[in-house]
């Protein structure tokens, strides 16, 4: 990766390769690592060992972390359940509510651009006789609240809509969604993985009943997350999906990952303290990247709403360029392409298709995920590199030549030979 040759070409202040895929995962903040380290070594107790100091010490660390997570999202510490990460939290929330409230109804509402952890969980429930409505999104990536209202009926028990999209960074109007749900007596779950710790998110102000959180998206460790479950107005009950020793108030059995939980807590504490300032800095870096790309290249456009968006996310299409070729050309920069990373086939991303983008445009899309440790020098390097590679690839593209000459590609009848 960071070979000597690559290092030589890097301008001052830039170390290659550059990481710009912070929506996929984020590097561990060294302050988080420092908080975790003792719980791997000297403070190794099991938080469920109630009869000696090693267990009490671990339990105390877990409870401190519970408070740190709760404070970040405006919850009560008793409403936080620790899990192995967002996928488990999503599964526990959706299946847990479906099972607990099945006598009240069997209808769940979600949207087509949810994370697979939500979509595949809903698909599983359909096999068990639940009805699921998948709301479409508008061209800007937002759902239409009118669609949501129309979809609700007397059998609706849960609405699950993510706070911020992992691919296009779009922020859904969760406060309004939550209000509509509460008016109808329907529970509202949000996958808040990309939003919590990055933008203002408060479970009470935003009318949220259940929320999924992951540590590794906010500079914490992988393999640990949390589920917020509201305790009053309304009191939400969920059926456990993992049975065992009744840990986490019976909702999630299993020996707690104490070092991971300590790391999640510390990551939440840092995010709460630094979020506003960090958000402004990331927005400025993102807008600088966007401006540089748009000023040097034609036929580029941003996917998803710019007004309602995560500060560090920029998802752009570079039309008449194949995304995979572009990724190879900028192989010293870690970003994601508009092809679904979940499969070996180069299917275009279902999120981008849901916005109404054609396969060719979706395939030419790149997600830049800026984060806490990215610098202005890195942004300038990446912008210059992308511009250079896109221009070179377009020189090889007959389609781009034709468009520049004013030929309407939609009118061409291609001859089969």
Residues noted as catalytic: 341
The CA-atom distances, in angstroms, between 309 and each of 166, 169, 179, 199, 331 are 11, 5, 21, 9, 27
Residue given tokens 């939290």 in the structure block:
89
Q: How many CB atoms lie within 10 A of CB 163?
A: 25
Using DSSP's 3-state secondary structure scheme, residue 351 falls into helix
Give which of 311, 283, 320, 314 is closest to 395, Cα–Cα.
320
Beta strands across the sheet bearing 313-318: 300-302, 313-318, 365-369, 336-337
Describe the crossing of helices 86-100 and 116-127 by its angle, rounded to 10 degrees.
Answer: 30
Q: What is the DSSP string of 354-403?
A: HTT--HHHHHTEEEEE--TT--HHHHHHHHHHHHHHHHHHHHT-HHHHHH
* CA–CA distance, 368 with 315 (Å, rounded to integer): 6
- CA-based R_g, the chain, Å: 23
- 71, 266 contact by CB (below 8 A): no
Strands 225-229 and 80-83: antiparallel
The token duo for 378 is 């890195």
Nearest to 355 by CA among 110, 111, 140: 140
């Amino acid at each position: 990766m960071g070979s000597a040759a690559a290092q030589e070409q890097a301008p001052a202040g830039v170390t290659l390769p550059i990481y710009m895929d912070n929506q996929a995962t984020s590097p561990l903040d060294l302050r988080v690592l420092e908080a975790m380290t003792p719980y791997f070594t000297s403070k190794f107790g099991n938080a469920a060992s109630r009869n000696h100091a090693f267990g009490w010490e671990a339990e105390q660390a877990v409870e401190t972390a519970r408070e740190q997570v709760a404070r970040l999202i405006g919850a009560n510490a008793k409403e936080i359940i620790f899990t192995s990460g967002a996928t488990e939290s999503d599964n526990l929330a959706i299946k847990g509510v479906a099972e607990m409230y099945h006598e009240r109804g069997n209808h769940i509402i979600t949207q087509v651009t949810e994370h697979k952890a939500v979509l595949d969980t809903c698909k599983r429930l359909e096999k068990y006789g639940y009805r699921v409505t998948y709301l479409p999104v508008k061209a800007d990536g937002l759902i239409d609240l009118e669609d949501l209202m129309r979809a609700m009926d007397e059998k609706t028990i849960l609405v699950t809509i993510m706070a911020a999209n992992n691919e296009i960074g779009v922020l859904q109007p969760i406060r309004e969604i939550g209000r509509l749900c509460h008016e109808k007596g329907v529970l509202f779950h949000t996958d808040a993985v990309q939003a919590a710790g990055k933008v203002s998110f408060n479970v009470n102000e935003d009318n949220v009943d259940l929320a999924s959180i992951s540590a590794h998206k906010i500079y914490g460790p992988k393999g640990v997350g949390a589920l917020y479950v509201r305790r009053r107005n309304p009191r939400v009950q969920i059926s456990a999906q993992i049975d065992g020793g009744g840990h986490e108030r019976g909702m999630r059995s299993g020996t707690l990952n104490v070092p991971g939980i300590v790391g999640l807590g510390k990551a939440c504490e840092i995010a709460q303290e630094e979020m506003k300032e960090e958000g402004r800095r990331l927005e400025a870096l993102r807008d600088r990247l966007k401006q540089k790309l748009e000023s040097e290249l034609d036929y580029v456009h941003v996917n998803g709403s710019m007004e309602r968006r995560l500060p560090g996310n920029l998802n752009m299409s570079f039309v008449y360029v194949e995304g995979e070729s572009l990724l190879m050309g900028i192989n010293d920069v870690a970003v994601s392409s508009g092809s679904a990373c979940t499969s070996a086939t180069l299917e275009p991303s279902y999120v981008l298709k849901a916005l109404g983008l054609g396969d060719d445009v979706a395939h030419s899309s790149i997600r830049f995920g800026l984060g806490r440790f990215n610098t202005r020098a890195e942004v300038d390097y990446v912008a210059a590199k992308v511009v250079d590679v896109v221009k070179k690839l377009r020189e090889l593209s007959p389609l781009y030549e034709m468009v520049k000459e004013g030929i309407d590609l939609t009118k061409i009848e291609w001859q089969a030979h």
